[in-house]
């Protein structure tokens, strides 16, 4: 049977579908958390644990499946990841206790994490340079679409069969992806080494010792922390402090998410035209930092409004959409032999940064001050800019500078 060609639109759509599993699994269930809690006889707060355990699985899964994909190949890991997502989604639909649902959600998250980390590695396997940046941008474009449409789809599915129907729909999506991967996806890993704990540890050390790759990963994680500070605290500020209605908040949040899509689309178009990664990252970081610092200044001056918060966050999200695909490509470029492990390190550190930013906002915010959100955004973006200027740019310029041949004529003879 014919395999999908790497440069085809269908191949890109498959990669995009695989990376959106986490967004659909979390965001589709948001509108029905209360009904889930009522059905299982628990409080809404305890039902919200289903989100946390899913993200825990999503963060931890890549640490196992990343090195495994380097050892046994990308395709087998994708088959395992999609099968886990489908199987434990189906079990979630029949769960009759919160503890059972939490167990299935954790394993669903691990499966989604396996797919996420493997997609990043596959892009590195198959594409280099500008092509890789374009492909990463289109994958990120899909990742930006999912949070916008997932809650609406969740409401529509829940009207047909309640919260259990959402898990059934997720399981069905997983089954479809299992079939597509099994029938049409070819192996992309260039070469595979025997998979042992020792080789996995050596691979992790190889990634952690690469100064530029690690700096790019830190940049990506800090930018994600900046984004997640807004995501986790925006409702408290917009609804609790600025008096926005819940319905309008949903619209405003979707508007900022569109910024991610526009940034990713702009990155793809400009990379295809040969605009360098340094130029695109520079523009994107300027947008992220400028928006974050402006929001902090408005907050300190007591002039923050819903319009200024959302419009500046939109600018920052556009910058996020531009920076991420270029930074991911540069982080993975030197990691051809251990792309799975490098992707796992990136995913794990990113999730830690997002969790830390969310926890910081939750600890500081009191629903009367936006400083917890805008301050966290400014601190994380400033740290990311500092790493880029002091480590990444300096290292890349040194690597690109011509080396002086000091060999004398006598030595050459």
Q: What is the pLDDT along the chain (413 residues), one digit of tens a residue?
A: 568 999 899 999 999 999 999 989 988 887 788 889 899 998 877 888 888 889 889 989 999 999 999 989 999 999 999 999 999 999 999 999 999 999 999 999 999 999 999 999 999 999 988 899 999 999 888 777 887 788 888 888 999 999 999 999 999 999 999 999 999 999 998 766 566 788 888 899 999 999 999 999 999 999 999 998 888 788 888 888 888 887 788 788 888 888 999 999 999 999 999 999 999 999 999 999 999 999 999 999 999 999 999 999 999 999 999 999 999 999 999 998 899 999 999 998 988 888 888 788 878 877 567 899 999 999 999 999 999 999 998 888 877 665 444 444 443 43
CA-wise closest residue to 50 among 26, 17, 28: 26
Q: Where are the alpha helices (DSSP H) in 98-210?
A: 98-126, 129-184, 197-208
CA-wise closest residue to 116 among 167, 183, 69: 69
Quote the pLDDT of residue 409. Answer: 44
Q: Please state which architecture CATH assigns to domain 203-399.
A: Up-down Bundle (1.20)
- Per-residue model confidence as pLDDT tens digits over 322-363: 999 999 999 999 998 899 999 999 998 988 888 888 788 878
* CA-to-CA separations, 118 to 304, 351, 382, 393, in angstroms, rounded: 41, 16, 30, 28
- Per-residue model confidence as pLDDT tens digits over 70-93: 989 999 999 999 999 999 999 999
346 contact partners, CB below 8 Å, separation of at least 6: 120, 217, 220, 221, 328, 331, 332
| φ, ψ at 222 (rounded to 5°) | -65, -40
Any idea where the domains of the chain sit in the sequence?
A: 1-186, 203-399
CATH topology agreement for domains 1-186 and 203-399: yes
Place of tokens 């190889």: 206
End-to-end Cα spacing for the chain: 60
Tokens of 185: 């996806």
Q: What is the rounded distance in angstroms from the CA atom of residue 218 to the CA atom of residue 223?
A: 9
String of b and e for 271-306 (b: at least 16 CB within 10 Å)? beeebebbebbbbbbebbbebbbbbbebbeeeebeb
Quote the pLDDT of residue 149. Answer: 84
- Per-residue model confidence as pLDDT tens digits over 16-54: 999 999 989 988 887 788 889 899 998 877 888 888 889
Quote the pLDDT of residue 408. Answer: 40
Query: How much is the pTM?
Result: 0.84
Q: Which DSSP symbol is given to 7?
A: T
Q: Where are the alpha helices (DSSP H) in 236-370?
A: 246-272, 277-300, 306-332, 339-364
CA-wise closest residue to 32 among 209, 138, 114, 152: 152
Domain at 1-186, CATH class: mainly alpha
Q: CA-based angle 309:315:321, to the nearest 5?
A: 130
């Amino acid at each position: 049977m014919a395999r999908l060609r790497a440069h085809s639109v269908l191949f890109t759509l498959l990669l995009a579908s695989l990376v959106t599993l986490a967004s659909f699994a979390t965001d589709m269930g948001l509108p029905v958390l209360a009904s889930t809690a009522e059905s299982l006889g628990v409080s809404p707060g305890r039902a919200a644990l289903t989100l946390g355990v899913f993200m825990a699985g999503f963060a931890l899964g890549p640490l196992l499946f990343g090195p495994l994909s380097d050892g046994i190949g990308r395709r087998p890991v994708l088959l395992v990841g999609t099968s886990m997502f489908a199987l434990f989604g189906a079990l979630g639909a029949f769960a009759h206790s919160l503890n059972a649902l939490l167990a299935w959600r954790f394993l669903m998250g691990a499966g989604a994490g396996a797919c996420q980390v493997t997609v990043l590695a596959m892009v590195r396997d198959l594409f280099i340079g500008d092509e890789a940046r374009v492909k990463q941008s289109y994958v990120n474009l899909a990742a930006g679409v999912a949070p916008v449409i997932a809650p609406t789809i969740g409401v529509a599915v829940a009207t047909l069969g309640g919260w259990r129907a959402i898990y059934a729909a997720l399981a069905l999506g997983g089954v479809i992806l299992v079939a597509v991967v099994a029938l049409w996806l070819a192996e992309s890993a260039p070469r595979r080494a025997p998979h042992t704990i020792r080789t996995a540890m050596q691979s992790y050390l190889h990634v952690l010792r690469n100064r530029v790759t690690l700096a790019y990963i830190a940049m990506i994680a800090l930018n994600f922390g900046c984004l997640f500070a807004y995501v986790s605290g925006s409702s408290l500020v917009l609804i609790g402090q600025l008096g926005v209605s819940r319905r309008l908040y949903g619209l405003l949040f979707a508007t900022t998410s569109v910024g991610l899509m526009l940034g990713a689309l702009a990155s793809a178009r400009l990379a295809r035209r040969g605009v360098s990664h340094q130029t695109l990252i520079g523009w994107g970081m300027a947008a992220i930092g400028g928006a974050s610092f402006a929001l902090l200044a408005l907050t300190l001056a007591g002039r923050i409004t819903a319009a200024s918060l959302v419009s500046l966050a939109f600018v920052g999200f556009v910058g996020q959409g531009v920076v991420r695909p270029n930074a991911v490509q540069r982080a993975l470029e030197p990691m051809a032999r251990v792309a799975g492990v490098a992707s796992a390190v990136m995913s794990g550190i990113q999730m830690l940064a997002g969790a830390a930013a969310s926890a910081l906002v939750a600890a500081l915010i009191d629903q009367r001050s936006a400083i917890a959100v805008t301050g966290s955004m400014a601190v994380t973006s400033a740290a990311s800019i500092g790493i880029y200027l002091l480590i990444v740019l300096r290292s890349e310029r040194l690597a690109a500078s011509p080396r002086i041949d000091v060999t004398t004529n006598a030595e050459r003879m």
